[in-house]
Amino acid sequence: MIVLGIETSCDETAVAISKDYNILHSEVSTQTIHRKYGGVVPEIASREHEKLLNDMIHYTLSKVKILKSEIDGIAVTQGPGLAGTLITGVSFAKGLASGLKCDIIGVNHLEAHIFANFLADPNLEYPFICLLVSGGHTQIWLVKGLRDYKLMGETRDDAAGEAFDKGARILGLGYPGGPEIEMLSKKGDEKSIVFPKALMQNKNLEFSFSGIKTSLLYYIESHEVLCKEDVAASYQAAIIDTLITKLKWAMDKTNCKTCVIAGGVAANKRLRKFVKQTIKNEKVIFPKLSLCTDNAAMIAYLGELYLRRGYSSKIDFPVLPNMKLA
């Protein structure tokens, strides 16, 4: 089976081809135009997707020498994400599916991030714990099988990636904030400042990152002279340590022997290093860096999983900006 994947949930325009669960080619175009605004401008993002999608699909198909007529199905991000950018991708996918008379399926972006780990390790077995951590979500899931997920904990306010972006803005750094803070942290002392870690009592699996952001703001305002490297390192450490601690608690609670990390923050090198140091006796899986951030390979792969099992979407299915996983 050949499946075309399309991802336009935010500011990455992405296209990929999956054939028999193998990703033949994956193409991602990150919209750098948003950097000067300090964040994603939805209207601009939608227009950029519209400009790029057709050429990217033609290029991807030519790279793998596949004709449009050979496509068996199209998988496209249905949500969650920005309403306008989702509409751009879904509308394009619907038009193409109608023209090719092939199946189409709307894919949950969060679910696809989880299943990107099967591309990292095809031998991954259920059940496993997933720490799903990105700019819009911070959640811990118990994954028992396809369509069988239990939410164990999530953020009550800001997501971890959002805390990085807002922290970077407070520090006068660029967008996206996660990589900027990570880069600056390399030269800092992460033990120099103690930032608060919320909801750490009684092995609580919920998160809250609004307090640490406020604490950072107060710290900056109350210190005329400061070392940004130390501030960035300490801020990053507090966020990452919270994520790792709660992931370990979730594994202990469920007795799961495997955990996977998903979402954009999974690219953070400190997270990768300390998860493996903290969870020593269990299997830990990270996707490769290109599968952590938004991409269409995960959409195409999960789409193929569903299409092979007989699932598909009606051609008039809606976009769901606030789409839930379970």
Which CATH number do you get for residue 180? 3.30.420.40
Domain presence at residue 205: yes
- Residues 268, 142: one domain? yes
Helix orientation angle between 228-254 and 160-170, rounded to the nearest 10 degrees = 170
pLDDT digits over 242-277, tens only? 999 999 999 999 999 999 999 999 999 999 999 999
Using alpha carbons, select from 56, 45, 55, 51 the residue that is nearest to residue 17: 56
Residues 143 and 84 in one domain: no
Q: Note the pTM of the prediction, 2 decimals.
A: 0.96
The answer to whether residues 270 and 131 belong to one domain is yes
Report the chain's mean pLDDT, rounded to a whole number: 97
**Do residue 298 and residue 284 come from a single domain?**
no
* pLDDT value, residue 254: 97
Q: Report residue 78's pLDDT band, with 50, 70 and 90 as the boundaries.
A: very high
| Structural domain includes residue 304 | yes
pLDDT score at 35: 87
State the Cα–Cα distance between residues 46 and 77, nearest whole angstrom: 14
Question: Residue 281 above 90 pLDDT?
Answer: no
User: Does 317 reside within a domain?
Assistant: no
Average pLDDT over residues 297-312: 98
Residue 120 within any structural domain of the chain: no
User: Domain for residue 38, yes or no?
Assistant: yes
Clarify whether residues 98 and 139 are in a common domain. Answer: no
Q: Are residues 92 and 145 in the same domain?
A: no
| Residue 315, in any domain of the structure | no
Q: pLDDT band at residue 183, thresholds of 50, 70 and 90?
A: very high
Query: What are 201-219's pLDDT values in tens digits?
Result: 999 999 999 999 999 999 9
Statement to judge: residues 283 and 139 lie in one domain: yes
Residues 105 and 220 occupy one common structural domain:
no
Number of domains comprising the chain: 2
| 226 found inside a domain | yes
Asked if 173 and 283 sit in the same domain, the reply is yes
Instruction: Flag whether 197 is in a domain.
Output: yes
Are residues 297 and 253 both part of a single domain?
A: no
Summarize pLDDT for 100-158 with one digit per residue, the tens: 999 999 999 999 999 999 999 999 999 999 999 999 999 999 999 999 999 999 999 99
Structural domain span for residue 159? 126-288
Instruction: Mark whether 82 and 57 lie in a shared domain.
Output: yes
Tell me: do 299 and 282 sit in the same domain: no
